[in-house]
Amino acid sequence: MRTETVDVVVVGGGVMGLATAWELVRRGRRPVVVDRFARGHHEGASHGATRNFNNAYDEDHYLDLLVSARAGWDALGDVDGEPLLRLHGLVTHGHPDLAAVHAGLDARGIPSAVLSPAEASARWPGMRFDGDVLWSSDAGVVRAKETLRELERRIVAGGAEVRWNMPVAHIDEHRDGAAVDLADGSRLRAEIVIVTAGAWTQKLLARFGLPRLAVTEETPAHFRPLTDATWPSFNHYVDPAAYPATVYGMPTPGEGVKVGFHRVGDEVDPDARPHLPTHQRALADYVREWMPGLDAASAAPISCTYTSTDDGTFVLDRRGRIVVGAGFSGHGFKFAPGVGGILADLTIDPTARAAAPFRLP
């Protein structure tokens, strides 16, 4: 077996793996990132043009992570003359505790305000509101495709590597390091291995005591706007008797307005994903009722995977010589620079700890 010794191995070249590798490069390390697919593939959870930069949280561990992530986005700066964050704002409405979210944002200096339904409807006539609305201007979308490209560029410019089309067969740790066996029969050895493999994490780390990671296929859709009205990003905590789950969405230039139910898809094997849209009739019904500025008959479904813990909390921890980041799907992309910083800390300092809710039991 051909064995290569490297500084650190990162398994998984989605946004979390690339963000972690970038953080390690910034700290003088030279990681090697390996991914089972080709650059730009659509088999995981990081592809596509946009991801929601949703800041409507009331839990301290997520708000603190949001602050560190926001600093990371600022550090990445402009790409092709435009910031990677498009801060067109976010509206949250429905049944959450808007006062708690407002207070959490205010405590961290993140701007937000509560609007009446009439004020919100006048500002965003393409949407319907039946209660108070929380508005935050420091939110919007991440340019996802450009983010992956820029992170890889910075990783390589810093002397590290990203190797595509390199499936991992096995990960193990030894007294003096860890090993990643690749499907081509070769092996990478390093002091630490970081696993950010999304839907494949459970398969690769079955012996490492992870919580259950459910892999689901989710199918939001883009809808065509009927006017040139301005659109914010949005969260709508709907009546569960009327619709299957919370609704989220955002404008995607050139594709329409993305609308989806959060975490309603069927569990799937990531290696045998059917790529079949689900809940499309309910999604069109929602758009017809709540988003009069969209053509409810124009849905263009999108398929992606979620990989989720049972309670939706991220996993950020270290066991021995294995560092793991998992369970991000549905609301992780925006946190990537902050997650990368935590996973880099865990890699470099064996005494480092993520916030308690993110740790393994």
Question: What pLDDT was estimated at residue 175?
Answer: 85
Question: What pLDDT was estimated at residue 207?
Answer: 87
**In terms of domains, do 302 and 219 share one?**
yes
Question: What pLDDT was estimated at residue 45?
Answer: 87
Distances (CA, A) of 19 to 72, 82, 312: 9, 19, 21
Residue 18 forms part of a structural domain: yes
- 43 touches 54 (CB < 8 A): no
As a whole number, mean pLDDT of residues 10-17 equals 98
**In terms of domains, do 219 and 189 share one?**
no
**In terms of domains, do 207 and 157 share one?**
yes
Phi-psi region of 39 (alpha: psi -120 to 50; beta: other; left: phi over 0): beta
Question: What pLDDT was estimated at residue 209?
Answer: 86
Confidence band, pLDDT 50/70/90 cuts, at residue 39: very high
Confidence band, pLDDT 50/70/90 cuts, at residue 333: very high
- Count of domains in the chain? 2
As a whole number, mean pLDDT of residues 193-215 equals 95
**In terms of domains, do 8 and 130 share one?**
no
**In terms of domains, do 98 and 134 share one?**
yes
**In terms of domains, do 318 and 285 share one?**
no
Distances (CA, A) of 70 to 12, 17, 80, 354: 23, 18, 19, 17
Residue 81 forms part of a structural domain: no
Q: Is 145 exposed, middle or buried (CB count within 10 Å of its CB: 0-12, 13-18, 19+)?
A: middle
**In terms of domains, do 252 and 300 share one?**
yes
**In terms of domains, do 272 and 156 share one?**
no
62 pLDDT above the threshold of 90: yes
Domain that holds residue 23: 3-46+146-212+312-358
**In terms of domains, do 103 and 152 share one?**
no
Question: What pLDDT was estimated at residue 100?
Answer: 97
**pTM of the entire structure?**
0.96
As a whole number, mean pLDDT of residues 126-146 equals 97
**In terms of domains, do 115 and 194 share one?**
no
Residue 25 forms part of a structural domain: yes
Residue 55 forms part of a structural domain: no
pLDDT, tens digit, 9 for 90 and up, residues 217-238: 999 999 999 999 899 999 999 9
44 pLDDT above the threshold of 90: no
pLDDT, tens digit, 9 for 90 and up, residues 252-273: 999 999 999 999 999 999 999 9
Where residue 200 sits, what CATH number does that domain have?
Answer: 3.50.50.60
As a whole number, mean pLDDT of residues 85-110 equals 96
**In terms of domains, do 265 and 131 share one?**
yes
Question: What pLDDT was estimated at residue 47?
Answer: 85
Where residue 130 sits, what CATH number does that domain have?
Answer: 3.30.9.10
Residue 334 forms part of a structural domain: yes
42 pLDDT above the threshold of 90: no
pLDDT, tens digit, 9 for 90 and up, residues 150-169: 999 999 999 999 999 999 99
Residue 36 forms part of a structural domain: yes
Return the amino acid letter for 212. R
As a whole number, mean pLDDT of residues 69-75 equals 97
13 pLDDT above the threshold of 90: yes
Question: What pLDDT was estimated at residue 346?
Answer: 98
**In terms of domains, do 27 and 121 share one?**
no
What is the DSSP secondary-structure string of 171-192? EEEETTEEEEEETTS-EEEESE
As a whole number, mean pLDDT of residues 293-305 equals 96
Confidence band, pLDDT 50/70/90 cuts, at residue 43: confident
Question: What pLDDT was estimated at residue 96?
Answer: 87
Question: What pLDDT was estimated at residue 82?
Answer: 95
Question: What pLDDT was estimated at residue 117?
Answer: 98
Residue 62 forms part of a structural domain: no
Residue 247 forms part of a structural domain: yes
Question: What pLDDT was estimated at residue 231?
Answer: 96
